[in-house]
């Protein structure tokens, strides 16, 4: 268990492998509300033990791995299984969807829009909350009005597809700011918090997740307790935004 030093962030816990036929990690995080997510399952076995009916938990699957993304049919099959297991959330964040990460500024084409709209609708049919995640951290300029406008435009487009839950992911990036950002923000954490809070407010305060750059114990510098980055998130991030944490 990990206790973050600054409220309202609280307790984090981690479970790396589950006694199921899973090719994944199951992540347990208490981040203002508790969050249970699985990163990359390909063949979850039937199990009645996964039923987690608890209003304090977000329970579900993150498609957030590197490599070939799942197909539409695999995702729809997953939504059915999530409902069966009593899980309630899915995060769309395949690293190799270029418009999720490398080309995050680009809007979706008509064909791509129809595809995402169908996925969001299928998730709703099974009472699964579809979180659309964007990973702009590779090259975003946090202080740029143009960049923030691009973020808003992209997520507004996805909202038009029927999506009501979103995430910003800042994992697996270098903790560096541009010279322009250094003139505006006190730190890397302040930059991310500023952008995240603005996007959250702009979208009307929907269900919202943040994956920080220091997303596990081994990345917390110098450690979880004394990390200025995590302290800043705890004190500055909008309290309604849930923070993802993967343990060690």
Distance CA 49, CA 62 (A): 19
Q: Of 96, 172, 181, 242, which is the active-site residue? A: 172
**Residue 96 contacts residue 69 (beta carbons within 8 Å):** yes
pLDDT tens column, 75-99:
999 999 999 999 999 999 998 889 9
**Alpha carbon of 216 to those of 15, 34, 193, 239, 246: distances in Å?**
12, 16, 18, 20, 5
Q: What percent of the chain has pLDDT over 70?
A: 77
Angle, CA of 181, 141 and 7, to the nearest 5°: 70
242 in active site: no
Total residues found in the chain within this entry: 248
If one counts every other C-beta atom within 10 angstroms of the C-beta of residue 13, the result is: 13
Q: What is the DSSP letter of 22?
A: -
pLDDT at 241 over 80: yes
If one counts every other C-beta atom within 10 angstroms of the C-beta of residue 241, the result is: 21
pLDDT tens column, 186-239:
999 999 999 999 999 999 999 999 999 999 999 999 999 999 999 999 999 999
Q: Is 194 helix (H, G, I), strand (E, B) or coil?
A: helix
Number of Cα atoms under 13 Å in the Cβ half of residue 86 = 10
pLDDT for the residue 51: 46
Superfamily name with CATH number, domain 2-243: Glycosidases (3.20.20.80)
Q: Model-level pTM?
A: 0.80
If one counts every other C-beta atom within 10 angstroms of the C-beta of residue 170, the result is: 23
Q: Is 27 helix (H, G, I), strand (E, B) or coil?
A: strand
Where does the chain have alpha helices with state H?
Answer: 72-85, 110-125, 145-160, 179-184, 188-202, 228-236
**Residue 48 contacts residue 76 (beta carbons within 8 Å):** no
Distance CA 150, CA 135 (A): 13
């Amino acid at each position: 268990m990990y206790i973050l030093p600054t409220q309202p962030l609280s307790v984090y816990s981690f479970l790396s492998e589950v006694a199921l036929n899973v090719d994944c990690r199951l992540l347990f995080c208490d981040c203002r509300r508790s969050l249970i997510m699985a990163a990359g399952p390909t063949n979850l076995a039937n199990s009645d033990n996964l039923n987690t009916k608890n209003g304090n938990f977000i329970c579900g699957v993150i498609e957030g791995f590197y490599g070939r993304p799942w197909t539409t049919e695999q995702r729809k099959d997953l939504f059915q299984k999530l409902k069966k297991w009593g899980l309630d959330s899915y995060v769309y964040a395949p690293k190799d969807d270029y418009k999720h990460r490398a080309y995050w500024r680009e809007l979706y084409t008509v064909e791509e829009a129809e595809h995402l709209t169908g996925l969001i609708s299928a998730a709703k049919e099974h009472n699964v909350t579809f979180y659309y995640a964007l990973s702009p951290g590779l090259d975003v300029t946090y202080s740029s009005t143009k960049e923030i406008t691009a973020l808003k435009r992209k997520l507004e487009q996805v909202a038009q597809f029927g999506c009501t839950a979103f995430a910003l992911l800042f994992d697996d990036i270098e903790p560096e700011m541009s010279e322009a950002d250094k003139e505006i923000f006190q730190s890397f954490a302040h930059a991310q918090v500023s952008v995240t809070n603005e996007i959250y407010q702009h979208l009307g305060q929907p269900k919202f997740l943040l994956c920080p750059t220091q997303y596990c114990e081994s990345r917390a510098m110098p450690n979880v307790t004394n990390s200025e980055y995590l302290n800043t998130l705890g004190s500055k991030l909008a309290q309604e935004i849930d923070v993802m944490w993967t343990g060690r």
